[in-house]
């Protein structure tokens, strides 16, 4: 039986500080593999995968962006054509969560208004090293009307669910009849501006498997 295939590829961009695990997350989703010693992403890297949702096969393009400050002006060009964005931080590094506000402000300047933005806490398997309580992140995400997932690239927990849910959100946005409640309110931008007051500019953390 032939499966219906989507003609338009869905583009998902991953952003966040360096060394938070973006590249490992992508490899787990695309190849179901894990390697802790991933090299730092230089600029932008590209991955592709086909995903079946409700009997239809969708082509997924995944853009892995560098987290270093010097690449920000270059990677912003990829935000404009993104169907969705995954904003990744490291659950064991509070600083990477503190920088989420700045990343949100950056991507919201360029991404399409209806494109889903999802906050992702990585390395959920490192329970004893956890530095960011789940309730704090969920409260933050709920305040901005954003979804939040916790994942582990090491044991794959939550990874497939994250990407499938994101693709489903993209599809819903494409087929929805422009209902007002599905659009992100301009109030989000106003709240975000207030939340960013007194925040420091993100610094480039070092470490493995970031990007």
CA distance 80 to 82: 6
- Band of pLDDT at residue 187, cut at 50, 70 and 90: very low
Among 4-8, 30-34, 37-41, 190-194, the least confident range: 190-194
Among 58-67, 119-128, 158-167, 172-181, the least confident range: 172-181
- Band of pLDDT at residue 196, cut at 50, 70 and 90: very low
CA distance 61 to 9: 7
Q: Identify the residue with better confidence: 127 or 183.
A: 127
CA distance 87 to 111: 13
Cα 140 versus chain centre, distance: 15
Contact predicate 166/12, CB 8 Å: yes
Among 96-100, 111-115, 174-178, the least confident range: 174-178
Contact predicate 211/18, CB 8 Å: yes
- Band of pLDDT at residue 7, cut at 50, 70 and 90: low
Which CATH number is 4-196's, of 3.20.20.70, 3.40.50.300, 3.30.365.10, 3.20.20.140? Answer: 3.40.50.300
Largest CA distance in the chain: 58
Asked whether residue 54 carries a pLDDT value surpassing 50, the answer given is yes
- Taking alpha carbons only, the member of 98, 101, 103 closest to residue 76 is 103
Q: What is the pLDDT of residue 88?
A: 97
Mean pLDDT of the chain: 80
| Alpha helices (runs of H) in 8-93, residue ranges in sequence order | 22-31, 72-79
- Burial class, 102, CB count within 10 angstroms (exposed 0-12 / middle 13-18 / buried 19+): middle
- Taking alpha carbons only, the member of 166, 176, 194 closest to residue 104 is 194
- Band of pLDDT at residue 79, cut at 50, 70 and 90: confident
Asked whether residue 2 carries a pLDDT value surpassing 80, the answer given is no
Structure tokens at 180: 């007002």
In tens, the pLDDT along 105-164 reads 989 988 988 899 999 999 999 999 999 999 999 999 999 999 999 999 999 999 999 999
Over pLDDT 90: what percentage of the chain?
53
- Taking alpha carbons only, the member of 105, 205, 192, 87 closest to residue 149 is 87
> For the residues 45-68, what does the mean pLDDT come to?
85
Asked whether residue 193 carries a pLDDT value surpassing 80, the answer given is no
């Amino acid at each position: 039986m032939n499966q219906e295939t989507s003609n338009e590829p869905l583009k998902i961009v991953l952003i966040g500080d360096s060394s938070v695990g973006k590249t490992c997350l992508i490899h787990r989703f695309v190849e179901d593999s894990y390697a802790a010693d991933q090299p730092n992403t230089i600029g932008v890297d590209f991955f592709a995968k086909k995903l079946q949702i409700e009997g239809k096969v969708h082509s997924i393009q995944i853009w892995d962006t560098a987290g270093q400050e010097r690449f920000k002006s270059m990677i912003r060009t990829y935000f404009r054509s993104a169907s969705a964005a995954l904003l990744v931080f490291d659950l064991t590094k509070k600083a990477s969560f503190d920088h989420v506000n700045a990343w949100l402000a950056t991507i919201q300047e360029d991404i399409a208004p209806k494109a889903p933005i999802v906050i992702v806490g990585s390395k959920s398997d490192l329970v004893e090293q956890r530095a960011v309580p789940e309730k704090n992140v969920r409260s933050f995400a709920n305040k901005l009307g954003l979804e939040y997932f916790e994942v582990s690239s090491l044991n794959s927990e939550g990874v497939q669910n994250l990407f499938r849910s994101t693709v489903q959100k993209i599809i819903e946005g494409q087929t929805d009849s422009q209902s007002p409640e599905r659009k992100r309110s301009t109030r989000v931008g106003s709240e975000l501006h207030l939340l960013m007051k007194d925040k420091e500019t993100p610094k480039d953390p070092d470490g493995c498997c970031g990007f």
